């Protein structure tokens, strides 16, 4: 999935949680959990987007071809995955 679309989706989801809470559609304890999860997913998406932009800049501006091993190491080092199906 395109990193920018993932960020936009996550930001929209955070907005939906806040909107549902302010309208009284969901209880406070559920809202707190949902908001926390949504913000975590938004932050994860923003990190992925920043990584994609860094790789693009390195390639286009600096002419540096990305090392796939470094990319795989950074993916496993973070240890966080996002399952958008659960949203």
Q: What is the pLDDT of residue 13?
A: 92
Secondary structure string (H, E, C) spanning the chain: CCHHHHHHHHHHHHHHHHHHHHCCCCCHHHHHHHHHHHHHHHHHHHHHHHHHHHHHHHHHCCCCCCCHHHHHHHHHHHCCCCCHHHC
**Full residue range of the structural domain in which residue 38 is found:** 3-86
Q: What is the pLDDT of residue 84?
A: 47
pLDDT digits (tens, 9 = 90+) for 37-66: 999 999 999 999 998 898 889 999 988 888
Instruction: Write down the pTM of the prediction.
Output: 0.66
pLDDT tier at 81, thresholds 50, 70, 90 = low
Domain count, the chain: 1
């Amino acid at each position: 999935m395109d990193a920018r679309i993932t960020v936009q989706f996550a930001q929209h989801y955070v907005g939906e949680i806040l909107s549902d809470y302010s309208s009284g559609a969901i209880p406070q304890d559920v809202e707190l959990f949902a908001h926390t999860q949504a913000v975590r997913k938004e932050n994860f998406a923003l990190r992925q987007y920043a990584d994609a932009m860094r790789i693009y800049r390195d390639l286009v501006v600096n002419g540096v071809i990305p090392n796939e091993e470094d990319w795989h190491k950074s993916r496993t080092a973070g240890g966080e995955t996002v399952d958008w199906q659960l949203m």
